[in-house]
Structure 1
């Protein structure tokens, strides 16, 4: 059975693993390293090389390596294979595809935005099986997404289609790292939701602590996560009206803060669903747990 090396590069970590043609991640091949806004370019490059090399070293004897699929936080330039992850300022126009090509001479290496990879994975083996018009979404350090319309992935000419984290949501004026104001990511990502709660007087410092405070009934924590859900609902109602979506599958660490987050999203969307074609969309948690980004990156090789 052919295997793909999958690499997922994000604002908090880079992860690599071997993935089979059914989308299953080989657990013994999975390695990760931190990234983050404070890392310099060489540290980031070494982290990528380190996890990829360790994953490749676990290739079973006699197994075929079919290629490398890369999902990266955006924006990206898919033609030349460059990445400029918003939350990783040391990399602007970094040649990530070329970097990984040096590890596997002669094999295909394909790059797409991580949000699209997650969407491909949901369509292939996750919550979106059998659904041809869907958005996959991640709510974590950042807010990202990708689109499949008419059964086909839609990367756009530069690879950045589906970048829902940088849709402006009405009623918010937070500045965003992209240079915009009121972007969904600036309002509803995990770190930005924590920042808002701290400005209101909450004493914690992490998304995990905020989730625990929400469950304990802390009023500021509840207000913060409700605010996050409302912003997500606004953006997703607009995206559904634009793209006639049937399903939205949401993953990422902060999407698991509380199951009630999905209730808030759905209620916000329902209040804005003026047409039946908007009201029809289903919003569900990702069915892939933490494997979605790697499975989606591998799909760039296995599915072509």
Structure 2
């Protein structure tokens, strides 16, 4: 592969960190994808070791004659983009941790860019996913947590700290669920996969996981139906509020819990439709992500391959 170029995409989340080599068309190089565990009980040293492991394993797969042109890191938030530091809410032992510098030390002379994972997923949707051709969109992930990112006027918007688009911590009306961020009724505290299943269990449901909830929903279990409807209502409210603020045209939603049932999207759209007196809010389209499970890695690599779409 003499002359070929790749970016290394790194995706840090609450349960795992992954890395892979991605070419300029958004394709992940086969056999270059590696993952290692993270998790809320992991020590700082364990998290650092996982990051080193996946980066070094992925780099080792760089074909002979190919060039590594940069490393893009997408991290669960919050982050401090100017200093390259991360403080993922679900990884309590990393607060203002210098992840960018740690990874840069493994690839001397190669540029390393850090952004919030929601911004990365939105860049990926805009590049090869459901947001192609759109200029004003939000990409969302509904999974262990809820994250998002913004492209407005065709440019990815990070804000001064790098946390613009952090929709998971928008508070939604009618909910009093406490959130780790200190807020009450944040959409992540209401509608993420673990929080939705926890609510269902408090109502007497006997399952344990999002997969169990999906099966119960498909079987017509009333508690499971109520739980998913509650989640969808909260997500829809958050999207409507975000659209009122920045005039979105499209929201593309991915993540494991977004697949609990196709009906989740109907509940989301129903909540947005209540804003019909404000047509510029009600017009926002909400659709499933057009990406595979490689989306977060592709989005991280887009920080390098699609740098021209990132606002300064």
Q: Which range, TM-score by smaller chain?
A: over 0.9
Q: Within 2, Cα distance between the matches of 1:274 and 1:72? A: 37
Q: How many residues are treated as equivalent by the alignment?
A: 304
Query: Which residue pairs with 1:149 in the alignment?
Result: 152
Q: Does the 8 Å contact 1:237/1:273 carry over to 2? A: no
Q: How does 1:38-53 map to 2 (within 5 A)?
A: 38-53=41-56
Equivalent position SS for 2:31? helix
Q: Does 1:258 align with 2:267?
A: no
Structure 1: gaps (5+ residues): none
Q: TM-score, normalised by structure 2?
A: 0.96
Q: Does 1:88 align with 2:91?
A: yes
Q: Within 2, Cα distance between the matches of 1:188 and 1:13? A: 21
| Pick aligned residue for 1:74 from 65, 77, 80 | 77
Q: Within 2, Cα distance between the matches of 1:158 and 1:126? A: 26
| Pick aligned residue for 1:189 from 182, 188, 192 | 192
Q: Within 2, Cα distance between the matches of 1:26 and 1:195? A: 38
Structure 2: gaps (5+ residues): 308-312
Q: Does the 8 Å contact 1:208/1:257 carry over to 2? A: yes
Misfit runs of 4+, over 6 Å:
none
Query: Which residue pairs with 1:237 in the alignment?
Result: 240
Q: What is the Cα deviation at residue 296 of structure 1?
A: 0.8
Query: Which residue pairs with 1:127 in the alignment?
Result: 130
Q: TM-score, normalised by structure 1?
A: 0.99
Q: Within 2, Cα distance between the matches of 1:273 and 1:97? A: 44
1:159-192 Cα offsets, whole Å, 9 max, x none, are: 0000100010001011100011111100000000
Query: Which residue pairs with 2:213 in the alignment?
Result: 210
Query: Which residue pairs with 1:289 in the alignment?
Result: 292
Query: Which residue pairs with 2:310 in the alignment?
Result: none
Q: What is the Cα deviation at residue 272 of structure 1?
A: 2.1
Q: Does 1:60 align with 2:57?
A: no
Equivalent position SS for 1:7? strand
| Pick aligned residue for 2:25 from 10, 22, 25 | 22
